[in-house]
């Protein structure tokens, strides 16, 4: 495995989960969830706290991360999102409200870090979680386990949506909330479920992410544009598109940074923020409906046409 690919796979799985969560919340509640940033960071700190204070492999605490994220999601839905949805608030208002929630969570993270430092003499502000990683076949386990876990979770979620009655009602509500309501489905429950799953995916994604990069209190805040880029690449209206989009953005970021740094020198590393922007620009200008709406057959012709358009 190329050196970048190992952590790249972990990071890409993390982005797949978070971008999937963003997409899920957007297609159910019309909310661009800014709080994904700090929800992810909280997920990381839950796993970190468990590993450092109670020992064992970090993986043992990943389910806890998921649960904690779900809890944060439920609080956000009940306290903030539901009253606004009932008032039929505009998309931008919904977005601002989650921004406020994100900042409150960020404040909580910082306070928690100070508490850990003071009480347990830890250094929670720069954490290398991968040093706690287990080993399989003589190499670190996370590049193998985490993508598989992500695939497993997404398969379970897919089966839930495709086969169970509540899953189908979720798809129905996403597609046509009015008809779902008059058919007797309670959209409240569906939205609550979306926040449970979406929040859990955000926090678990954050825990994944800390296995690939240095964990800091602003880890989620820094990677938020990448999560959104993944969701936009996926087309925003397709859950599976969002998941795939996040994965591709993650791989593209690590691959591009690695090879460009080899070619041009380490200074490239500072400009990785250009990558989500570039991806978003390409998506929005060339194929606005993202991966999901891509006409896979006629793509080469369309790209050629776009190139000609740029030249002329």
Please select the residue that binds other proteins; options are 4, 8, 25, 32, rule is CB under 8 A: 32
> According to the binding rule CB under 8 A, does residue 139 interact with other proteins?
no
Please select the residue that binds other proteins; options are 183, 262, 282, 304, rule is CB under 8 A: 183
Instruction: Extract the tokens encoding 169.
Output: 């009602």
Q: Mask: binding to other proteins, 215-244, rule CB under 8 A, as x and -?
A: -------x-xx--xx--x------------
Q: How far apart are alpha carbons 310 and 246 in whole angstroms? A: 27
> According to the binding rule CB under 8 A, does residue 119 interact with other proteins?
yes
Q: How far apart are alpha carbons 204 and 2 in whole angstroms? A: 25
Nearest distance from C-beta of residue 7 to other proteins, angstroms: 20
With contact defined as beta carbons under 8 Å apart, do 228 and 102 qualify? no
Nearest distance from C-beta of residue 278 to other proteins, angstroms: 10
Which residues are paired to 135 by β-bridges?
140
**Which residue's CB is nearer to other proteins, number 66 or number 77?**
77
> According to the binding rule CB under 8 A, does residue 194 interact with other proteins?
no
Nearest distance from C-beta of residue 114 to other proteins, angstroms: 4
> According to the binding rule CB under 8 A, does residue 156 interact with other proteins?
no
> According to the binding rule CB under 8 A, does residue 185 interact with other proteins?
yes
DSSP 249-267: HHHHHHHHHHHHHHHH-GG
With contact defined as beta carbons under 8 Å apart, do 32 and 94 qualify? yes
Q: How far apart are alpha carbons 123 and 115 in whole angstroms? A: 11
Q: Report the C-alpha dihedral over residues 179, 183, 188, 193, rounded to 10 degrees.
A: -90
Neighbours of 3 (CB within 10 A): 9
Site size for other proteins (CB under 8 A)? 63
State the residues that interact with other proteins by CB under 8 A: 32, 80, 83-84, 88-89, 91-93, 95-97, 99-108, 110-111, 114-115, 117-119, 165, 168-169, 171-172, 175-176, 178-187, 222, 224-225, 228-229, 232, 267, 270-274, 276-277, 280-281, 284
């Amino acid at each position: 495995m190329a050196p970048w690919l190992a952590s790249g796979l972990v990071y890409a799985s993390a982005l797949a989960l978070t971008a999937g969560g963003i997409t899920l919340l957007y297609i159910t509640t019309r909310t661009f969830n800014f709080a994904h940033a700090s929800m992810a960071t909280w997920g990381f700190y839950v796993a970190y706290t468990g590993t450092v204070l109670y020992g064992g492999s970090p993986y043992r605490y990943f389910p806890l991360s998921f649960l904690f994220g779900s809890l944060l999601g439920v609080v956000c839905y009940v306290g903030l999102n539901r009253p606004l949805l009932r008032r039929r608030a505009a998309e931008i208002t919904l977005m601002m409200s989650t921004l406020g929630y994100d900042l409150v969570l960020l404040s909580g993270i910082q306070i928690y870090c100070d508490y850990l430092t003071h009480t347990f003499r830890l250094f929670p502000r720069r954490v290398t979680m991968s040093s706690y990683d287990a080993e399989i076949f003589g190499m670190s386990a996370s590049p193998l386990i985490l993508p598989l876990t992500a695939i497993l979770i997404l398969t379970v979620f897919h089966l839930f949506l495709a086969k169970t009655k509540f899953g189908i009602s979720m798809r129905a509500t996403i597609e046509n909330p009015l008809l779902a309501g008059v058919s007797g489905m309670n959209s409240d429950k569906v939205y609550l479920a979306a926040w449970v799953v979406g929040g859990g995916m955000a926090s678990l994604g954050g825990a994944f992410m800390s296995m690939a990069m240095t964990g800091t209190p602003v880890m989620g805040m820094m990677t938020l544009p990448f999560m959104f880029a993944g969701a936009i690449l996926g087309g925003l209206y397709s859950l599976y598109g969002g998941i795939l989009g996040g994965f591709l953005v993650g791989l593209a970021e690590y691959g591009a940074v690695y090879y460009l740094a080899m070619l041009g020198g380490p200074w490239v590393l500072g400009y990785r923020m250009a990558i989500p922007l570039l991806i978003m620009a390409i998506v929005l200008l060339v194929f606005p409906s993202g991966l999901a709406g891509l006409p896979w057959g006629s793509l080469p012709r369309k790209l050629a046409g776009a190139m000609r358009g740029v030249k002329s």
